[in-house]
Amino acid sequence: MAKAVVNQDACVGCESCVGACPVSAISVNDGKASVDAGTCERDFTVKNF
């Protein structure tokens, strides 16, 4: 199964997606969100939180 991805062009580093991820697979580093593929359990695109 594909894992979640972050649209890096749209990401503003607001961290809203961090709290929305039910398995805490998203973190913000250097102002951009990233997904830990080893923790991610779903196929989503992170956008417009």
Number of domains composing the chain = 1
Please choose, from the candidates 41, 45, 43, the residue with its C-alpha nearest in 3D space to the C-alpha of residue 33: 45
For the entire predicted model, the pTM comes to 0.76
| Bridge pairing between strands 45-46 and 5-6 | parallel
pLDDT of 46 higher than 80: no
**What is the per-residue pLDDT across 1-44, written as a single tens digit (0 to 9) for each?**
567 888 999 999 999 999 988 889 999 999 999 999 888 887 66
What pLDDT was estimated at residue 45?
58
Enclosing domain of residue 30: 5-46
d(CA 2, CA 30): 25
Q: CA-CA distance, 32 to 7, in Å (whole number)? A: 9
